Structure 1
Amino acid sequence: MNKELMKKIILPFIVLFLIIQFWSGLATIVEDFPTPSDTAVYAFGGETSDGDEIEGVLSDPFYIENQDDMGVFWQILESLKRVFAGFALAILVGIPIGLLVGMSKNVQYALDPFIQIFKPVSPLAWLPLLLFIFQDINATAISTIFITSIWPIIINTALGVKNVSEDYLNVAKVLRFTAMEKVYKIILPVAVPYIFTGMRLSLGIAWLVIVAAEMLTGGIGIGFWIWDEYNNLAYHNIIIGIILVGLVGFILDVVMGRIADYFDYRKRM
């Protein structure tokens, strides 16, 4: 085992140890704050430090009691459905707009101010308006994800187009390519790595937004589940929910990163 690999394994465990120590210290200072050991019991089941027997959240994540009472697996699955629906819409709309912004100065001048204005707007600012428009939890969550995650796709796609060499574009003129031929044969092969970088950022934002959206809109989903546990004063489960959200977000980022690397011609050279 080489030194670099050892560092990648050992250093995260050192940080984890420090986090647990800080967590344990916080639990001694803040009254009723969950300890690491009790949180583990609430996650996997067993006996708490107070002697209570607990059936853990992760001991049966697939149960379905009724439409409003489901295991944490189904909560995450519902959230992922909304995330990918909004993310797919952002791809379908964002890539063409990004191509237009990158290829045309006039389109860039027309749209850039609005991109810069709406890009930093919090998803929580959109939620009340979208809920008023759609009067539906799923449509509101999906549209919120779409609006807040489309900007990285547009910006990175436009950046990819602008990185196309002038020499390539001159060749397209010599060969008398049509606009569509220029896009498919010249621009997209160069812009694809940038597009996937934008998609990776967009997916991360989508997963971030869904938790906040579900907390406010209710229904089924990991965000609402965390908020419901707060209302039930189940602080152990809130921490479990935070960890699950982080792990799912990490997996999504890794998968999207691998896909981006596969389509990045620069890493295959």
Structure 2
Amino acid sequence: MKQIFQIKNTFSLLYFLMSALLLVGIWKVISILTEGEIPSPAATWLIFQEMLSDPFYDYGPNDKGIGLQLWNSVKRVFIGFSLGSLIAIPLGMLMGSNKLAMRLFNPLVQVFRPVSPLAWFPLGLLAFKNAEGATIFIITITSLWSTLINTAFGVSSIPQEYKNVSTAFGFSKWKYIVKIMIPYALPHIITGLRLSIGVAWMVIVAGEMLSGGIGIGFFVWDSWNALSLEKILIAILIIGIVGLLLDKFFNLIQKLTVYEN
């Protein structure tokens, strides 16, 4: 079994390296076709090495290292994501377990779920009077829907016999929630969280472009204003890699939360 696991990991690493080489090859071809307007992988790598030499420097409001930029973005994402989850999970459990709540809240979910994060930003500014609060607000409001919908679906799909058993044993509402509802719906909740963290990480870039100050989104916009395409490409790769790591983390949790019938 251990040998099979090692072989699987080896093949996963091999496919990842092949994908990376394919990306570099396509990137190189595009650089040649655009006659260097799109920086080559080699030129971008040189700039990246310079950025890594001191990633946490702080020379003022608009001159900070990539490490500080990334840390501030990750911090905002987790604050907004956590707040969204605290709203989505209880509300999803209520909607999934109560038909009246589903009929009452589901139309609102379907109306607000497709709204662009950029549309929420002015309301965030009005409510919180600062860009930091507005950015966290749009992450919260746009990331909660996937968790809410998946939680409601998981709770609503609990088999009737499980409910009958809880009634037969005289479970209180709290014991039913802890012993039946949450364990059964947990894989669906984790799936929702996995989708939500992806949304939150995408939204942060747009939010920081609008809010300015500090963050990976602001770094992209600032690099564009400075006509540094190398830094933009580096930021795109960093955003993608961090998003991949977040997805892998929740995928691992998802595999560990399979409800045993």
TM value normalised by structure 1: 0.89
* 1:261 shift after superposition: 2.5
Q: Which residue of 2 aligns with 1:110?
A: 104
Q: Which residue of 1 aligns with 2:32?
A: 28
Q: Which residue of 2 aligns with 1:71?
A: 65
* 1:176 shift after superposition: 2.8
Q: Is the 8 A contact 2:81 2:139 kept in 1?
A: yes
**Gap change, CA 1:14 and 1:263, over 3 Å in 2:** closer
Residue pairs, 1:206-221, within 5 angstroms: 206-221=200-215
Amino acid at match of 1:232: A
Residue pairs, 1:238-249, within 5 angstroms: 238-249=232-243
* 1:80 shift after superposition: 1.1
Structure 1 window deviating more from structure 2 (257-266 vs 195-204): it is 257-266
Residue pairs, 1:111-150, within 5 angstroms: 111-150=105-144
**Gap change, CA 1:107 and 1:238, over 3 Å in 2:** same
Q: 2:16 aligns with which of 12, 28, 35?
A: 12
Q: Which residue of 2 aligns with 1:169?
A: 163
The share of aligned pairs that are identical, in percent, is 40
- The answer as to 2:33 corresponding to 1:58 is no
Query: Using the alignment, how far apart are the partners of 1:202 and 1:15 within structure 2?
Result: 26
Structure 1 segments unaligned to the other structure (5+ residues): 45-55
* 1:98 shift after superposition: 0.3
Amino acid at match of 1:130: G
- The answer as to 2:149 corresponding to 1:155 is yes
Query: Using the alignment, how far apart are the partners of 1:5 and 1:249 within structure 2?
Result: 20
Query: Using the alignment, how far apart are the partners of 1:251 and 1:9 within structure 2?
Result: 14
Q: 1:193 aligns with which of 169, 173, 187?
A: 187
- The answer as to 2:48 corresponding to 1:43 is yes
* 1:255 shift after superposition: 1.6
Q: Which residue of 2 aligns with 1:181?
A: 175
Cα RMSD, aligned residues only: 1.9
Q: 2:257 aligns with which of 242, 258, 263?
A: 263
**Gap change, CA 1:192 and 1:62, over 3 Å in 2:** same
Amino acid at match of 1:64: D
Query: Using the alignment, how far apart are the partners of 1:83 and 1:118 within structure 2?
Result: 20
Query: Using the alignment, how far apart are the partners of 2:242 and 2:15 within structure 1?
Result: 22
* 1:259 shift after superposition: 2.4
Amino acid at match of 1:21: G
Structure 2 segments unaligned to the other structure (5+ residues): none
Q: Which residue of 2 aligns with 1:49?
A: none
- Larger relative contact order (Cα-Cα within 8 Å, sequence gap ≥ 6): 2
- Please give the secondary structure, in 2, of the residue aligned with 1:265: coil
Q: 2:89 aligns with which of 85, 90, 95?
A: 95
Q: Which residue of 2 aligns with 1:202?
A: 196
Amino acid at match of 1:146: T
CA deviations over 1:29-65 (Å, ceiling 9, x no partner): 3252201110011111xxxxxxxxxxx1122112222
- The answer as to 2:222 corresponding to 1:228 is yes
Structure 1 window deviating more from structure 2 (75-84 vs 15-24): it is 15-24
* 1:92 shift after superposition: 0.9
CA deviations over 1:45-97 (Å, ceiling 9, x no partner): xxxxxxxxxxx112211222234322111111111111111111111111110
Query: Using the alignment, how far apart are the partners of 2:168 and 2:23 within structure 1?
Result: 61
Amino acid at match of 2:43: D
CA deviations over 1:164-184 (Å, ceiling 9, x no partner): 121110122223323222211
Aligned residues: 256
